[in-house]
Amino acid sequence: MRVLTGIQPSGDLHIGNYFGSIKQMVEAQSQNQTFAFIANYHAMTSVNDGKRLGELTMQCATDFLALGIDPEKSVFWVQSDVKEVLELYWTLSSFTPMGLLERAHSYKDKTAKGFATNHSLFSYPVLMAADILLFNSNVVPVGKDQIQHVEIARDIAIKFNNQYGDILTIPEFKVQEEVATVPGIDGQKMSKSYGNIVNIFGDEKSQLKTIKKIVTENVSVEEPKEYETCNVYNMAKLFLEGDNLKALQERYRRGGEGHGHFKIYLAEVMWEYFREYREKREYFEKHQNEVREILKNGADKAREIAMPTIEKIRSVSGISY
C-alpha cells in the first residue's frame, strides 16, 4: 500500500498538523510504502518572502524528521526537487472542470475571509492532485480540511483515465475521526493562516503564554465545568489516555478549579509529550547538512519512482512525439 502526505512550510508546525497527519504517517511507516514531502510550491500561495520560504522549508524538514519521519523507511523530499510534479499539474489542468475548483471549500473560505486571491490559490487542488497521482498513492492521511482536495484528485484521475486508460491510481483519503479537526486557541479550526495555533516546538514560556490565550467559558472557579465543549480540554485530550484522561474529566466535574489551572496542566502535558522529539530536533538543528543530504536522496528516490508514470503520461497524451 502506498501512503502519501504533504505539509506546507507556511509557518510553524502545530499540533493540528501533528495529530491530523504527521502522527498517522509516522505510524504507517512500519507497514507501508510511505511518501512524505514538504509542499513548498503550495506555500507560495501564502508566503511571498523568498528568504523566509527557504528558511521555513528547512525548518519544516527538521521538524518532520524530529517527529519521526524515518528516511530509511519513507521517501522524504521537498516538492520543488521533483519538477515533474509541475508538468503533471499542467497536464491534469486539462482534466479539471472549472466548477470543480469553484466548489473548493478552502478557496471559498479564503475569499470569504478577505484573503487576496490569485490563480495559484484557485488551482491549488490541481497541484495537490499531481502530488498524489504522480506516485500512484493509494491512501492519503489528512485532517478534515483536506478531504475535499483528495476527492478532487480522485475526480481528476477518473477523468484522465476515462480518456487515456487505466494509468492513474484512484486515491482514498484517510481521516482519524477524533483528531479530524483540532481546535485552535479561538475554538475555530487550528490553522497557520488563521493565526490561532499552538506550535509544537516553541519554547516553554511562549507556549504557556499562547495556551493562556485559549478562549474559555466565563464561569466561576467553584462551579463544575463542562469538558466536552472546552477548548482547553479538547486539546489536552490529544495528549492523554486512560486514567489520566478520566482524572482530568473528574477535575472538570468536581469544580473548584479555574480554567487557568487546566491551561497550566495542558502546557505541562504537552511539554512532556514532545520532550523526546525536542531532543531529536536539537540534533537535526545542529546537523542541517545531514538534513539537506536526506532531502536530496529522498528527491532522487521520489523522481525514480515517478518517472515511469510521467513517461506513460507523456506517451499517451502525445507530449513525447
Residues that bind ligand TYM (CB under 6 A): 4-8, 16-17, 20-21, 39, 42, 128, 131-132, 140, 142-143, 145-146, 149, 179, 181-182, 189-191
Output 128 or 251, the one with its CB closest to ligand TYM.
128
Cα distance between residue 283 and residue 301, in whole Å? 24
Distance CA 75, CA 84 (A): 16
Residue whose CB is less far from ligand TYM, 118 or 220: 118
Least Å from the CB of residue 212 to ligand TYM: 20
Q: Give min distance, CB of 308 to ligand TYM, in A.
A: 20
What are the φ/ψ torsions at residue 148 (nearest 5 degrees)?
Answer: -60, -35
Quote the least distance from Cβ 184 to ligand TYM, whole Å. Answer: 7
Comparison of 71 and 141: residue with beta carbon closer to ligand TYM: 141
Indicate the pairing of strand 33-38 with strand 2-7.
Answer: parallel
Minimum CB distance to ligand TYM smaller for 58 or for 179: 179
Q: Which residues of 254-287 are buried (b: 16+ CB within 10 A; e: fewer)?
A: eeeeebeebbebbbebbeeebeebeebbeebeee
Minimum Å distance from CB 136 to ligand TYM? Answer: 13
The least CB distance from residue 39 to ligand TYM, in Å, is 4
Which of residues 4 and 299 has its CB atom nearest to ligand TYM in the complex?
Answer: 4
DSSP characters over 223-290: S---STT-HHHHHHTTT--HHHHHHHHHHHHH----HHHHHHHHHHHHHHHTHHHHHHHHHHHH-HHH
Looking at the Cβ atoms of 107 and 262, the one nearer to ligand TYM is 107
**Shortest CB 224 distance to ligand TYM, Å:** 28
What SS3 class is residue 130?
helix
Residues 6 or more apart whose Cβ sits within 8 Å of residue 312 = 167
